[in-house]
Each structure stands twice: as structure tokens, then as C-alpha cells.
Structure 1
């Protein structure tokens, strides 16, 4: 009888330990997504200033400026849906690259202090976004491994744990931006 109670106690301890480990991994992944969200919000707040600065020099590049504005709006409208937000953020990244490609054609704009400051800040934010994305993907990988591997999968499914998507670049981010004069 003591052996049966001992085995039952070990199983309960294992279930509790596995559950707590999964909660910890899920919370780390949520924290990582929050880190991405913070950086993306900073970038989103910076975009209108950047667009206004470029408008002063390159007013006839209206379609590019409109694309950037639409991409930023898509990010705001995506809300809490992770997959939709990732798609919208990738679109914004792509349109910002187009904006900087347009800026290359305007020497006065490239020399403008406000534009240079905004471009530098945006570059810094992009670096922090990349770092946040890597952290998120590492956290998602750890959670996904725990949810999918035996014996954790015995606890994960019944307790409502599921895998998370990785933050991946879309095709437009992988393409080299075309700069034409």
C-alpha cells in the first residue's frame, strides 16, 4: 500500500512540475511577444513623423507615402491577433524600405537633420525589433518543444497548452530593395 501511495505521490509531483514548467514557458513567450509589441509601437509612433519629413522633400512620391500610411494603419487595426499582426508588421517593414529607397533619390532629404535623426532612430528600433523577434522565437521554440515532446504532451493537451507560431519574415522582407535613379 505504501508503494502505491508513493507512486501516486510521484505522479502528482510530476504533473505539478510539468504543469508549472509549461506555465513558465508560456509566460516567457507572452513576455517575449510583449517585447516585440513595445518595439513595434515605438516604430509605429515614429512613422508619421518620418512620413511628414519626407513629404516636405518628396511630395510627388505620394504612392509610397500612402503605402507607408496604409501599412501603419493595418498594424493598428490588426489588434491582438498574433498572426494578423505579424503579417501587418512585415508589410510595414517592406514599405519603410521602399520609403528609404525613395529617399536615396533626394540628396537634400538625405542631408536633412530631422530625416537623419528619424532614420537613425528607426534603424535602432529595427535592431531592437529583430532582437525581440529572436527572443520571442526562442521562447516559442521552448514552449513548442515542451508541448510536443513526450511526456509533457500528456499534460499539455488536457491542460489547454498549445504551440505558438514563429515570427517569420515574409517574402517582401527577404527581397533586396530596388533603388533606381
Structure 2
């Protein structure tokens, strides 16, 4: 009789362990999706600011029309349905570079910098960029926890059964990793 209770106890304990491991993996997967959603929300906020910024500066920046067109083009591509996360990250990396180039170009237009509307939009964009950087860091930390869980024993066994795959972190592009040449800015 005691052996039966012992066997039942071990089965219940094993079931509890299995359920807790699977629940932990599901929770980590959901945290990654939530963090990815936060990054997407920040990208959308930035996408919504770009047309207002472009409309405001168009009259001032006649010569930089190609840069403005590039901003709009990248925004449209990044919002296209059906693009993968890696394509979206690549486009947003290119958009980061275009925004940096745009900010450098603004220095040539003192009337534009004095515009109150432009200043508000620029401040909103800077705030959005800061929040986007924070959302990216949160996403990468969450992905690291998830990837660790699906690769470490014993959770790796259950992760493979649940068909969980590694997630890619958001990384800097080659251009972003290089030191800027500030002499070209002056």
C-alpha cells in the first residue's frame, strides 16, 4: 500500500514539475511577444511622427528632398504587411540612419530650427527614440531569458517538444557599429 502511495506521489510530483516547466516556457514566449509588441508600438509612434516632421520641414529643406523622400519610403516599407521581424529590424535600422542624417541636415537651416512646430516635433521624435531604445533593450533582455530557457537542460527537452525556436535579438547594423566621423559634420 505504501509503495502505491509512493508511486502515485512520484507521478504527481513529476506531473507538477512538467507542468511548471511548460508553463514557464509559455510565460517566457509570451513575454517575448509582449516585448516585441512594445517595440512595434514605438516604431508605429515614430512612423506617425515622420509624416508630420516631413510636412513641416519640406518648405525649408528644398535641397534635401531626397532625404525626406527616403524617410517616407523607409517608413512605408517598414509598415508593409507580411514582412518578417528580421526585415522589419533591417528597415528600422536604415530608418535610424536616415533620421540621424536628417538631424544633421537640420543644422543648415536656422529658420527651421527656430520654428516652434518643428521644435515640438523634434522633441517628440527624440523622446520616441529614447523610448524605442528602452523598448529594444527590454526586448533583447526578454529574448535572452527565453533563448536561455529553451537551450538549457531540462527545459530544452520540453521546448523542442513544443517546437520553440530561438528568437533573434535586435542588433545594430554594420553602419551603426562604426564610429561616426564628426569632422564631416562641420
Residue by residue over 1:82-133, the C-alpha shift from the partner in whole angstroms, topping out at 9 and shown as x without a partner, is 1111111111111011111111111111111111111100000000001111
Q: May I ask how many residue pairs the two structures share in their alignment? A: 181
Q: What per-residue deviation string (whole Å, max 9, x for no partner) do you get for residues 115-154 of structure 1?
A: 1111100000000001111111111111111100001001
From 139, 143, 147, give the equivalent of 1:140: 143
Counterpart of 2:40 in structure 1 is 37
- The 4+ residue runs of structure 1 with deviation greater than 3 A are 177-181
Structure-1 separation of matches of 2:47 and 2:15: 47
Equivalent in the alignment of 1:154: 157
- Which residue does the alignment assign to 1:23? 26
Matched, 1:127 2:130: yes
The 5 Å alignment of 1:72-83 reads: 72-77=75-80, 79=82, 81-83=84-86
What's the CA shift for 1:8?
2.5
Q: In the alignment, which residue of structure 2 is the partner of 1:108?
A: 111
1:172: Cα distance to partner?
A: 2.7
Shift of 1:4: 3.3
Q: CA separation in 2, counterparts of 1:177 and 1:114? A: 30
Query: TM-score with structure 2 length normalisation?
Result: 0.90
For the 8 Å contact 1:101–1:177, the answer to whether it is kept is no
Assess, with a 3 A threshold, how the Cα gap between structure 1 residues 123 and 177 changes in structure 2: closer, same or farther.
farther
Q: Check if 1:118 corresponds to 2:113.
A: no
Over the aligned positions, Cα root-mean-square deviation in angstroms equals: 1.7
Structure 2 vs 1, CA of residues 52 and 59 (structure 1 numbering), >3 Å: closer, same or farther? same
**Cα deviation per residue 1:67-95 (whole Å; 9 max; x = unaligned)?**
11111111112645211111111111110
CA distance in 2, matches of 1:158, 1:177: 50
> TM (normalized to structure 1)?
0.93
Q: How much does 1:61 deviate?
A: 1.2
Q: Structure 1: state its 5+ residue gaps.
A: none
